[in-house]
Structure 1
Amino acid sequence: MEHQVILHSDMNNFYASVECLDNPKLRGKPMAVTGDPDARHGIVLAKNYEAKKYGITTGEPLWMARQKCPDILFTPPRYERYIQFSQAAHEIYEEYTDQVETFGLDECWLDVTGSTHLFGTGKDMADDIRSRIKKELGITASVGVSFNKIFAKLGSDLKKPDATTVIDHNFQSKIWHLPANMLLYVGKATYAKLLKYGIRTIGDLACADLSFLERLLGKNGVMLWAFANGLDRSPVSYSYSRRIIKTIGNSVTTHRDLLNDTDIKIILYILSESVAERMRNENFYCRSVQISIRDNTLVSYERQGRLPLPSCTSQAIFQKAFELYKGNPPQNPVRSLGVRACNLFVMKYRQLSFLEDAARDQKQEALEHAIDDVRKRYGHYSIQRGIMLMDSRLSHLDPVAEHTIYPEAFLKSQNK
């Protein structure tokens, strides 16, 4: 049986590297790509190696970063630019294989098993890809080479920047001494549980009693034990395969606290319109709606409810979201809100119905399709709900355009 050859390419300090490439004034100086402090998104999204030397970490508040390094330079993110670089990297990867699986904007797995007779060993291809990214894109990448996805990912994390790391079938001597939280999907909470029972390294995890891990962590315990023992057999998706989307959502931290029902309605309408428009673009309907609420003391909770009928309209999503909010009001002013459409399914052609509720929703859907068309031609603010006039600053938000693309890139960084 042919052994798999899997690569994992991780473009180093991706956001920060792109910004330093485009702006020579940032090069060689500690800098970070950050959220907007005036909109209370004041955290570090990415940093360069000069900033890393000061102990600055992804996700920390800007005031803390500035305490560590008073001379640090901050710059806002430019997602459109990052997407351009990500697509250019994909074009390079797809010259070696059609099995390219995205893991955020900056990372990809490649199954190059069938390409070795054309391009040499996995290490040969990894070195070639690194060289091309540096020459053609102007930034660097680290590439892991292994016989499965988990170890390839671990390899790309082991040595940075601009390095190739091979983890072969004699992996025990190379990785079992490493902390268990270097393994993908061992997040902070999981690692804390493992430490309580003396499981500190990947080797400890691999040699732990499987039934104990299952009792401690459930199915994840079995999965992590298999990963530590090199038993991951998950395939790399093909470039053209579409990721199965289970939910579509959006959230926002507002420039001021939301103090009353009118404030809440404005933001819920904005988020519901954003979610519904994205659903309609993909022919999705949802069966349930979820809201997330964080108050100004940073207490968070979520609530979910089922719709009477599947829908893709902002009106139906808003009504359920506001109902969930009123049924579970927070004790303090609200800092951020989120709306998510759940239990999605595709329906390209909808059967007409004479049932009163279904007919009403179909009319609303037709109306919102017309609104989509107007906004595409004349801009998001060309047509607005009357309630938006109650607070023009609060309502001046276009979450479709400003929606953060690939939020999993940030979530991954929190689990590393």
Structure 2
Amino acid sequence: MIESRPKKGRIIFHIDMNSFFASVEQAHDPSLKGKPVAVAGNPKERKGIVVTCSYEARAHGVYTTMPVWEARRKCPELIVIPPDHNRYRDASDAMFSLLRTYTELVEPVSIDEGYLDVSDVEWPGTAVELAEEMQRRILTELDLPCSIGIAPNKFLAKTASDMKKPMGITILRKRDVPAVLWPLPVIEMHGIGKSTEEKLRSLKIETIGDLAAAEEGFLKEHLGKRGIHLKRRANGTDSRAVDPESVHERKSVGGSVTLPVDETDPAELKKTLRRLAEKVAGRLDRRELAGDLVTIQIRDADWVNHSRSRTLTNAIFTADAIYREAELLFDRHYGGQPVRLLGVTIGRVIDRSETTEQLSIFNYEKHAKEEPVLKMIGELEEKFGKGTVTRGISGPKSGGRQG
């Protein structure tokens, strides 16, 4: 049993691999170590977006989502490598297999991060020494760096692992929350995105401490049950267990509609898909969820159901992304038969705070389409100063509803 284990409560680790894709490439080709490396799409054509980059590249101002042309301008010696997803999946499997040699209570969150409950691990030393052992083995056996957060619950462990990178080990106890987290702006809290930050600021809640001190009734009135959930997190409370089966048991959010007539016009059917995508996105947004399994259901005039699914590399939650994937499935599988019912479902959903978009070989092309605009913005900012040009946002159409 781990020394100095608390009589009550758990010891939770959050493992976060550092610059995972770039680190895997450096492990595969040791000549890349110590050099600025970026994983990106279409490197030979100077197109695409930086998927991830090494810390040597970051020192030159290169960052994830930066267009390749801009990254090379900031770092002329940058080595750009096309993604190899199979290599990354193999490295991920090896990392999680290593962690399971300590405990079966391992919950993968994404390809490069996960939680461990080590409370009952037979280990002669302290929790920090156990984390050092795991970190050392991952580095020596897999040649990959990682950071580890140690805390009594998942939220604090995740927060701790972000505090020191690369190769950091950080302890965050619940008693540390007032001094460490409360002075920070709410956007710094794990699980709060831009839209939630704006809502909280409109309620005069600027810091994590403000959120921790807010009245539950007030938060529930303006944010629903999620407001209470966020207040608990701000106070360092999180009762979620580390669940190894959660990756297989994620629930789904969906919607369907029975059509007034047996429809055969693909254009009309796609309009219905669009409305369903917006409905599902709204439901996901209200619950702050995202999912990486898209399913469409087509029920024909004979009431025979046809379902087609697609598993994505990254979880999605926006109406545009859901519609794009649903339309792709529809185009591939619709055979022209009269349709009585259509449905769209996002499966394997998780709390949106547990996932951030990981650029990959499957989605860098989407970002690459923005390259001409990004290049123009970069040139204007270089000439007239940073912030000269800002992006607009799409507002609701006349008579439309804001999501």
Is residue 233 from structure 1 mapped to residue 239 from structure 2 by the alignment? yes
SS in 2 for 1:306: strand
Question: TM-score normalized by structure 2?
Answer: 0.62
Alignment of 1:17-56 (within 5 A): 17-36=23-42, 42-56=48-62
Render the CA deviation track for 1:253-272: whole Å, top value 9, x for unaligned. xxxxxxxxxxxxxxxxxxxx
Of the three residues 357, 362, 382, the one matched with 1:411 is: 357
Query: What SS does the corresponding residue of 1:120 show, helix, strand or coil?
Result: coil
Q: Which structure has the higher relative contact order (CA within 8 Å, separation 6+)?
A: 2
| Residue aligning to 1:244 | 250
Residues 212, 68 of structure 1: alpha-carbon distance in 2 compared, 3 angstrom cutoff:
farther
Q: Does 1:175 align with 2:194?
A: no
How far the C-alpha of 1:63 sits from its partner, in A, is: 3.3
For 1:164-223, what per-residue CA distance to the aligned partner results, in whole angstroms no more than 9, with x for missing partners? 100113222233233432322111222233344553432232123333333443332221
- Say yes or no: does 1:134 pair with 2:132: no
Number of the residue aligned with 1:325: 270
The CA distance in 2 between the partners of 1:319 and 1:143, in whole Å, is 54
The correspondence for 1:211, drawn from 206, 213, 217, is 217
Residues 242, 66 of structure 1: CA spacing in aligned structure 2 closer, same or farther, 3 A cutoff? same
Aligned partners of 1:7 and 1:152 also within 8 Å: yes
Q: Hey, what's the Cα distance between the residues in 2 that align with 1:61 and 1:123? A: 39
Q: SS in structure 1 opposite 2:10?
A: coil
CA distance in 2, matches of 1:37, 1:339: 29
Quote the offset at 1:75 in angstroms. Answer: 1.4
Residue correspondence of structure 1 range 139-158 to structure 2 within 5 A: 139-158=144-163
Name 1:341's counterpart in structure 2. 295
CA distance in 2, matches of 1:412, 1:216: 31
CA–CA distance in 1 between the matches of 2:265 and 2:92? 37
Tell me how far apart the structure 2 counterparts of residues 209 and 412 of structure 1 sit (CA, whole Å). Answer: 35
CA contact (8 A) 1:99 1:237 kept: yes
Q: Give SS of 1:114's match.
A: coil
Is 1:62 aligned with 2:16? no
d(CA) in 1 for partners of 2:27, 2:204: 44
Instruction: For 1:105, give the aligned amino acid.
Output: I
Paired position in structure 1 for 2:394: none
SS of alignment partner, residue 198 of structure 2:
helix
Give 1:95 shift. Answer: 1.6
* Alignment partner of 1:123 out of 118, 121, 128: 128
Counterpart residue identity of residue 411, structure 1:
E
1:69 positional shift = 2.9
Change (3 A) 1:207 1:342: farther
Relative to the length of structure 1, the TM-score reads: 0.60
Which position in structure 2 is the counterpart of 1:6? 12
In structure 2, the partner of 1:335 is: none
Give the Cα separation in 1 of the matches to 2:87 and 2:196: 35
Change (3 A) 1:197 1:126: same
Kept in 1, the 8 Å contact 2:41–2:49? The answer is yes
Deviation at 1:321, TM superposition (A): 7.2
- Name the CA distance, whole Å, in 2 between partners of 1:202 and 1:320: 51
Deviation at 1:21, TM superposition (A): 1.7
The separation in 1 between residues aligned to 2:84 and 2:174, in whole angstroms, is: 41
Secondary structure, counterpart of 2:174 in structure 1: coil
Instruction: Give secondary structure in 1 for the equivalent of 2:123.
Output: helix
C-alpha distance in 1 between matches for 2:35 and 2:258: 52
* Per-residue Cα deviation, 1:258-302 (whole angstroms, up to 9, x for no partner): xxxxxxxxxxxxxxxxxxxxxxxxxxxxxx7xxxxxxxxxxxxxx
CA distance in 2, matches of 1:65, 1:239: 40
CA distance in 2, matches of 1:152, 1:241: 19
In 2, the alpha carbon distance for the partners of 1:137 and 1:24 equals: 12
- Is residue 143–residue 163 contact of structure 1 (8 Å, CA) maintained in 2? yes
Q: Give the CA deviation at 1:238.
A: 2.4
Question: Matches of residues 266-285 of structure 1 in structure 2 within 5 Å?
Answer: none
Separation of aligned partners in 2, 1:200 and 1:40: 41
Instruction: Quickly say closer, same or farther: Cα 1:114–1:18, change in 2 above 3 A.
Output: same
1:83 to 2:89 alignment: yes
Whole-angstrom distance in 1 between the partners of 2:242 and 2:69: 41
Q: Distance in 1 between matches of 2:241 and 2:137?
A: 25
Secondary structure class of the residue paired with 2:92: helix
> Which whole-Å CA distance do the structure 1 matches of 2:175 and 2:257 have between them?
51
SS in 2 for 1:231: coil
RMSD: 3.9
User: Which residues of structure 1 form unaligned runs of 5+?
Assistant: 248-287, 289-303, 309-315, 330-337, 345-354, 369-386, 389-405
Task: Give the Cα–Cα distance (whole angstroms) in 2 for the partners of residues 213 and 240 of structure 1.
Answer: 29
Counterparts of 2:150 and 2:293, CA distance in 1: 39
Does 2:257 match 1:306?
A: yes
Query: Structure 1's 92 and 307: CA in aligned 2 closer, same or farther, altered over 3 A?
Result: farther
User: 1:326 and 1:176, CA in 2 relative to 1: closer, same or farther beyond 3 A?
Assistant: closer
Relative to structure 1, the CA distance from residue 50 to residue 98 in structure 2 (aligned partners, 3 Å threshold; closer, same or farther) is same
